[in-house]
Amino acid sequence: MLQSFRHHINMANEKILSYNDVILLQSDLTILKNPCFLNDRIIEFYFTHLSSLHSQQILFLPPSITFWITNCPDTDTLSDFLQPLNLPSKQLIFFPVNNNDDVAVAEGGTHWSLLVFFQTKNLFVHHDSFHGLNNHHAKRLYKRVVSYATGDLDDTETRYMEYARTPQQVNGFDCGLYVLAIAKEICRWFDGDGNKNEDDLWFLFVKERVTSTSVSGMRMEILELIRSLREKK
């Protein structure tokens, strides 16, 4: 029985794809094939994929970096880390937000949401698919990163908003998929010059395209993407 358990663990940890700096494991496929909470690797993988499709004016920060920004106790270290990213040069920045408060717990937390910075409007928007559960964590992240995103250490003009009409999940495990689906549609809005309304931002675009049906279909979309990339190796 012990040998069987070890075999199962080894199978789960088997590497299935190396994509830029992201390594996906067999266990990630299991998460995608079942009604499970997405982990950091899957979110970083899909963000990396979106980055390859869209404008260089868009920056996707991986969950580990966002978590570190939120919880780094040393502001000098934070400054040294963020300055090379040149955040003010980006028009859109995506921050995946997790409600893990314990820096000692890897891949902790129970909920994902999305914080977006739009440079043109000097605006941070928080999209939460579960009744604002991560509002506190998103606001804390905003306060840590705002001066680095704008390039103004004395920034007083940048606004922060909780978008109350963010599409809402209908179960307890699809929050990560909502983060990815909303990010995907905001990118489409940003790159679609003919359809872009900067006064109303991307809100109508997201409302019309991010539905419970489209979100649930993203598991198959990501699995198909992984299969396609593996075939090219």
> What does the pLDDT profile of the chain (233 residues) look like in tens digits?
545 434 344 566 899 999 999 999 999 999 999 999 999 999 999 999 999 999 999 999 999 999 999 988 888 888 888 988 999 999 999 999 999 988 777 678 999 999 999 999 999 999 999 999 999 999 999 999 999 999 987 888 999 999 999 999 999 999 999 999 999 999 999 998 645 666 789 999 999 999 999 999 999 999 999 999 999 87
Q: What pLDDT is attached to residue 67? A: 93
Residue type, 182: I
- Check residue 12 and give its pLDDT: 63
Q: Are 50 and 187 in contact (CB under 8 A)?
A: yes
pLDDT score, position 195: 58
- pLDDT at residue 1, as a whole number: 54
pLDDT number for residue 7? 39
pLDDT of residue 5: 39
Instruction: Tell me which residues are annotated as active site.
Output: 111, 128, 175
pTM of the model: 0.92
